[in-house]
Structure 1
Amino acid sequence: MLLSSIKSKNGVHIVRCSLNKKKKTDSPTFKAYVTMEGAHEKLLHLSFDETQVAESSEIAKNSSLQSSKLIQWLQVFIFTFFTLGGQAAGTLLGRVYYEQGAKSRWIATLAQTAGFPFLLPFLCYPSPKNHDDQQLSIDHQSSVLVRASVYIFLGLFQVANSMLFTVGVQYLPVSTYSLIFGSQLAFTALTSFFLNGQKMTAIILNSIVLLSFSSSVIIFRDETGDSGEISRKSLFIGFAATTLGSLGYALQFSLTELAFQKVFKSGTLKVVMKMSFYIGLLVTLTSSIGLFVSDEWNDLEKEMREFRSGKLSYVMNLVWTAVSWQLYAVGSVGLVFKASALFSNVIINLGGSVGPIFGMVFLKEKMSGLKVLSLLLGLWGYASYTYQHYLDDLEAKASEAKPSTEAGDNF
């Protein structure tokens, strides 16, 4: 009997035996070597099967990660569209409201949050049954009282910020107000860094500077409507109110992100709808109280009658204003939920730069060189921020691929 060692493709040596015709095939030695050969063959098949299972599992895992990332980016795109579209439409309809002869500030403020009932169908829609049980249990651990406290706190925060901005507009020239208002993005970067652990890179800082300049470029315009004589007291009140409003606005976004991280830990988008609904409800009730206390409610019929486009146009203006700003609210909160408070504020500042384009198309406004400059700075800042996310994705893919490569080498 002759023994031979053959090296397989995987480097495993298989011992084969060739029997001399003169030897008997039922000898004990022959049976032992046949058994050894069968064992080696089984080991080879097992190693092949384990390799195929590991490869198929890795492919399925990578495919699932890519699919989830694609869905996440699609959701971010939808929320971005809601934010930019709602902001542009709401701003244009607000201009039309005053240009057609209406004057009530409380009605205009009320219309910005009165669209919350449109979210009721989304709140009544049941959550999927196959949702992760662990996330559901964590979500239920947050008591109703805690969640209600968050809604009330953020709603009152929004009311206070709106009132501060209203005082700022009343006491400051438009150019000065716009310059201070543009600082909210820098405040958001600061609050996000301390409260949400936001990573700061040179590219993100470049994006913040560009977007802040894009929203503040209005200071170089010739504001004929600004009054030349403003007392120091008025300037101080306006400056303090607008600065506090900008800081409060930044805190509101960062606290919203913190609430998603600590309280609303569910991975569903229903929590976004709930937050937008309850905050809108609270702000609407507060604005309604202000409307009745200020006696502007008694002038509503007169305002509808004197609206140049007619009563129906007046009602439709308020309805679509409510829808537009509700889309903006859902989009901005959704961006905080899916991305970050800083990213949401980046999109909002970009909307301030893109707004003049809609004004030029729908209201026949002139597109000045400064508006073009503002738009270019805004797009540049947004591109910088998006590029940072692209680099983060590449880094995440590299870190995910490295462990799998090392595991394959070890095998």
Structure 2
Amino acid sequence: MKTESESNTTWKKTFLVLNCILLTLGNCCGPLIIRLYFIKGGKRIWLSSCIQTAGFPLTLIPLFVSYLHRRRWSAANFTVATSTTKLVLMKPWVFVASTIIGILTGLSNYLYGHGISRLPVSTSSLIVATQLAFTAGFAYLLVKQKFTAFSINAVVLLTAGAAVLALHTSGDRPENVSKKEYALGFVFTLGGAALAGFMMPFLEFTYLKAKQTVTYTMILEIQLVMCFFATAFSIVGMIINKDFQAISKEARQYELGETKYYLVLVGAIILLQCFFVGIVGVIFYGSSLLSGVLCTVSLPITELLAVLLFDEKFQSEKGVALFLSLWGFVSYFFGERKQSKKNIHQTQETEIAQAGDP
């Protein structure tokens, strides 16, 4: 029979795997569907930014499930239900930090939208891989992330992969995109990756400095606040840019038809909400560095799907960059596995030594 500690560990691993799946699904398919919006006639950058977080009301579903679970647990344990089933109230620091992260997310989404409107998915995805380097740097500064030779090697390789693309930024330029627009797309995408690389360690820093018990329910509430303010930021941009007035006209002129236009938007909203729910969960149960690595895991899938679905070019530079990215990914996880075995061995030696003490 499992002890309470073993049961909690099993639940944590289960939730970590579930959030890893959500993160990978959203991060792999999100760029493809947003690119589909642009290549078939979509032109609204602020709209593409908004749909990346507009699915935040869907977070109310797992929050409601969590509420029911805690209510049943309270009833089964004969506790006062009203004290355990209400939402966890965030302290001012957590709310302010979530708001700041949300606004930065909105800005990052806008920069990323600018980039993906000008770059092929296979190129933009490889640029976004540099996010891991930014995540690693900020994780070291904010949460004192410990690095091994393998994790440093992974960061260097992923950054080198993006540098290879930077040296050959015209070979896959779409016909309707000028050299200046392509260069701006590269810069905007890199800027979005840098912001995202800062936000993940800052979110982990928020968990550490919360000064209250951080539960999975609470991180869902944090995610709700983040996406609300990110969406609000984008809606302000849409109002200024008069995107709301243009949506109906853009839908009628969309190459795939008006109905599929709205289906593309709804699909993007759902998939990218999976990404945001997954990312806060992975940071909570794992680390910000792990979330950065997982964002890179989907790279090969996104690369191949973009080539197959959108007939994008796959030059030798992309092949080199992809190889470096995969090498970096394998290096990271090999190092983590080796470090995990070392920690287990040290723990066992400590327990044996303590058992031998009189």
Query: Which bin holds the TM-score, normalised by the shorter protein?
Result: 0.7 to 0.9
CA distance, structure 1, for counterparts of residue 261 and residue 285 of structure 2:
36
Query: Gaps spanning 5+ residues in structure 2: where?
Result: none
Verify the 8 A CA contact 1:217 1:370 in the aligned structure 2.
yes
Q: Structure 2 matches for 1:266-345, cutoff 5 A?
A: 266-345=213-292
- How far is 1:410 from its partner? 3.8
The one of 56, 65, 76 equivalent to 1:116 is 56
Rounded Cα–Cα distance in structure 2 between residues aligned with 1:179 and 1:266 = 37
CA change 1:387–1:68 in 2 (3 A) is farther
Kept in 1, the 8 Å contact 2:24–2:295? The answer is yes
Q: What letter matches 2:259 in structure 1?
A: L
What letter is aligned with 2:232? L
Q: Work out whether 1:100 is the aligned partner of 2:47.
A: no
Q: Between Structure 1 and Structure 2, how many residues are aligned?
A: 343
Work out the CA distance in 2 between the residues paired with 1:357 and 1:240.
Answer: 23
2:205: which partner in 1? 258
Quote how far apart the aligned CAs of 1:323 are: 0.5
Q: 1:266 to 1:391 in 2, by over 3 A?
A: farther
Structure 2 residue aligned with 1:88: 28
**2:337 aligns with one of 384, 390, 394:** 390
Q: Shift of residue 375 of structure 1?
A: 3.4
Report the Cα distance in structure 1 between the residues aligned to 2:162 and 2:133, rounded to whole angstroms.
12
Report the counterpart of residue 15 of structure 2 in structure 1.
Answer: 75
TM-score by length of 1: 0.71
Give the equivalent residue in structure 2 for 1:40.
Answer: none
1:160 equivalent in structure 2? 107
2:19–2:279 CA contact under 8 A, matched in 1: yes
Superposed displacement of residue 276, structure 1:
1.8
Indicate how the Cα distance of structure 1 residues 342 and 113 shifts in structure 2: closer, same or farther if over 3 A, else same: same
Q: Alpha-carbon deviations, 1:235-284, whole Å to 9, x = none?
A: 8x999877665443322111100011111753532223212211111111
**1:365-386 CA-partner distances (Å, limit 9, x unpaired):** 4555444443333232222221
RMSD, matched Cα: 3.8
In structure 1, how many angstroms separate the alpha carbons of the residues matched to 2:263 and 2:119? 32
350-359 vs 333-342, which moves further = 350-359
Match of 2:172 in 1: 223
Q: Is the 8 A contact 1:175 1:218 kept in 2?
A: no
Alignment-derived partner of residue 14 in structure 1: none
1:248 to 163, 188, 195: 195
The 8 Å contact of residues 186 and 208 in structure 1, kept in 2 or not, is answered as yes
Partner of 1:349: 296
Percent identity over the alignment? 24
Over 3 Å counting, the alpha-carbon distance change for 1:216 and 1:83 in structure 2 is farther
